[in-house]
Amino acid sequence: MPELAAKDACELLDADHIAVKHLFVDYARLAYAPDAPGAAERADIAMKICNELTVHAQIEEEIFYPALRKVVPDAAGLLDEARQEHQQVKNLISQVREMGTADTTMDQLVADLARAVEHHVKEERDELFPKAKAAKGLDLAALGQQLQERQQELEAEIA
């Protein structure tokens, strides 16, 4: 069987962005259905969203952001802002995790989280990734490999 082509750093991170976007849509579809079924299912999706975002933010903070900061000095402001946005996302994640069941409060928190993530992802896509792609001396393929390895390690820990 042919091996799947390895993703470079931006492709890998953006694949995560797309995957979590789908989870937010799944959650909203259940939360706003007329008979609001599946509270347990919603809670499961919410925990999956929290886990995936936690791993994603961690690999960006450990690997991607520092690599970018090193070779693209003018990305410093954007990266500082990105770290602050991660902090907001983490605060919302801990509130969601404290909720035992999916009720309207969780629905609201997940909606707030979706909005915060959407805003942050847009900045990564529109501003950070273009800088990373244009940077000389940044090996996005090697960085993608590193991100993937660390992601697998963290996913194994969190599972």
- What gap in Å lies between CA 106 and CA 39, rounded to an integer? 10
Kindly indicate which of the ranges 20-28, 29-37, 54-62, 91-99 contains the residues binding Fe ion, using the contact rule CB under 5 A: 54-62
Contact 52, 115 (CB under 8 A): no
Helix axes 9-31, 140-158, angle to 10 degrees: 40
- In the complex, least distance from residue 137 CB atom to Fe ion, rounded to whole angstroms: 22
Nearest Cα to 151, choosing from 10, 12, 4? 12
Interacting positions 100-159 with Fe ion (CB under 5 A): 124
By CB under 5 A, residue 20 contacts Fe ion: no
Q: Which is nearer to Fe ion, 41 or 80 (CB)?
A: 80
- In the complex, least distance from residue 16 CB atom to Fe ion, rounded to whole angstroms: 6
- In the complex, least distance from residue 139 CB atom to Fe ion, rounded to whole angstroms: 19
Query: Which residue's entry shows tokens 């983490």?
Result: 90
- Kindly tell me which residue out of 42, 49, 60, 151 binds Fe ion, with binding defined by CB under 5 A: 60
Q: Which is nearer to Fe ion, 61 or 103 (CB)?
A: 61
Q: Which is nearer to Fe ion, 89 or 110 (CB)?
A: 89
- What gap in Å lies between CA 115 and CA 85, rounded to an integer? 11
Q: Which residues, at least 6 apart from 155, have a Cβ–Cβ distance to it below 8 Å?
A: 51, 55
- The contact set with Fe ion (CB under 5 A) reads 13, 60, 124
